Structure formats: structure tokens, C-alpha cells
Amino acid sequence: MEYNLMPNSKHLSALDESEYEMLKQNVQSSFGNIKLVKHGGKCHQNDELVIKVYMYDLPPEFHFGLLDWKPNGSSVWPDVRNNIPGYPGGLNLQHSIEFWLTLDILASEFPQAPKARTVIRVKNSSEADIIYVPFFSSLSYNRYSKGKKKEKKNGNKILQEKLVKHLTTQEQWKRSGGKDHLILAHHPNSMLEARMKLWPATFILSDFGRYPPNIANVEKDVIAPYKHLIPSYLNDNSTFDSRPTLLYFQGAIYRKDVWPSCSLIFWLLWPFFAFQRRYFSLTSM
């Protein structure tokens, strides 16, 4: 990987080969060593391969408490068979992967899982392939990053500090240095403070645009797309090759590091759309 071609390359562009190999070993995730196991669930005719996940029982303030859910009894989790807390709509949905992934892990504990399982939750961390940190970091940023004027720290920063303190004192983190941990930071502005201390873990991100490559990079992290917000066509059997026209194009053109690409697409398409608008307006008169 050529770090000098990546954003914020000044952090690593001066590394020689030996220093790079040392860094690579330090940040390498344990994902490459995962051994998939089979479960006996009747999802398909053939058994499915699943990943064994250990999930921390974090207090609700880190996850469903952000959705105003309150525990009933000693459990820190809702009973997803009967009562799934609602998730806010709008742009919040773009980063809702943290919500859905946690629900899938919780649902995997029940014999009659509602969907085909790709993960199964285990109670013993030594048996796990991955250790999952259920912090709804994107939701925390959206709800608590704008604190009150007299507050020295907003609620989002306080939760990050609590998370770092909790994780780094856990035996599971100490055992691997965090390399087998999975943390979601899908909103580009989420985990701004904690990411600098929890970087040995594997992050699930939307892009690498706001990260120095020694904190997040393609060697150890995962890029997950935004949740699809545009309604799908019903009974649509068309294929990629059968669609010669781009039907949908939306978003700010001059925005962040992607503006050169967005601008190029816009100006390449503009003559076509201008003609279409003028032609149809004339023929419809």
C-alpha cells in the first residue's frame, strides 16, 4: 500500500520499509485468523458458516439507552423478539449499521432466529473470533455532540471517555491489545477522541477521509456503505448492462475531498439533462 498516495499522508510518508513493516504488524487485525464454524440452524439446505462473536454487556447508555430505551430488570438488552426500540429516521439512517448489527448479534442467541445467521454470540471471549463493542457512536455524535454553552464537555465526549476507560481495563483488551476488537465509527465525525486511543481495533467506517492512515487504513479496517435511503423499484428485473442511463444523482457537488469527482460527473451529465429538460418542456406544450 502506497501511503504517500493516501489523504493525510504526512503521518506515514516518511516511513522506511522496516518501519512500515513494524507498523503493519502493530495494527494488523486478527480478522485474518478467523476460523469459521458451522451451526445446525435450518436456514438453508446446507449448513451455514458463522462467525463467533463475543459482545460486551455495556450499560444501555452506550447503545439502546441512546434511543430512550430503559431496561426492565437486570438485563442491559431489550428482548428483540418482542420489543425492538425504534431508530430515528432522516439522515440518522445513513449510519444505522451499528443498530442493525447489534440486533443481529442479539437475535443469534435465540433458537428460532428470524433471519439466516452469519454470526452467533458466545459468552466466553476465549471462544470468539471477534470481540464486538456495542457503542452506537454515530447516534451518540448526532444526539450529544452539541452540548450546552456552560458545559465543558458534551455528552458525546463523556461517553467516549467512559468507553476508553472501560475497554482498556478489560482482560479481553489487555490480552490482544485490542487487535481482535470490532468498533463502529461509521459517522465520519464520531469517535473523534476515542479513535486515537482505540486504533489497534478494527473500525467499521464509511470512508478514510478524516483519518490519518496510522489510525485507520485498508490493512485492518472495514468500509461499510451508507444505508440505502432511496426506495427500490418493485418487480425490477433489469440488470446493470440494461441500464444505459443514470436515473438518480443527488448530493452537494462541492463537498469535502470528493468534490472533484462529483463536479466531473455533474458537468459530464449536464448537457444531457439540460437537453432533456428543454426538449420535454417544449413537446409537452
Instruction: Name the residue with higher pLDDT: 7 or 253.
Output: 253
Is the model more confident about 111 or about 4? 111
The mean per-residue pLDDT over the stretch 102-129 comes to 86
The reported pTM is 0.71
Q: Which three cell numbers stand for residue 165?
A: 476507560
Q: How many CA atoms lie within 13 A of 185 on its CB side?
A: 29
Quick one: what percent of the chain has pLDDT higher than 90? 47
Q: Residue 149: exposed, middle, or buried by beta-carbon count in 10 A (0-12, 13-18, 19+)?
A: exposed
For residue 148, give the H/E element and its range.
none
pLDDT over 70, % of the chain? 71
- Tens digit of each residue's pLDDT (9 = 90 or more) over 129-151: 999 999 999 999 999 988 777 77
50 neighbors 39 (Cβ within 8 angstroms): yes
- Pick 57 or 233 by higher pLDDT: 57
Closest CA to 273 of 252, 248, 254, 243: 248
pLDDT tens for 263-282 read: 787 788 777 766 565 544 44
Tell me the average pLDDT of the chain: 78
Residue type, 279: Y
Residue 76: per-residue pLDDT:
96
User: Which residue in 71, 63, 92 sits closest to 183, CA to CA?
Assistant: 63
Task: Say whether pLDDT at 40 is over 90.
Answer: no
Per-residue pLDDT for 179 more than 90?
Answer: yes
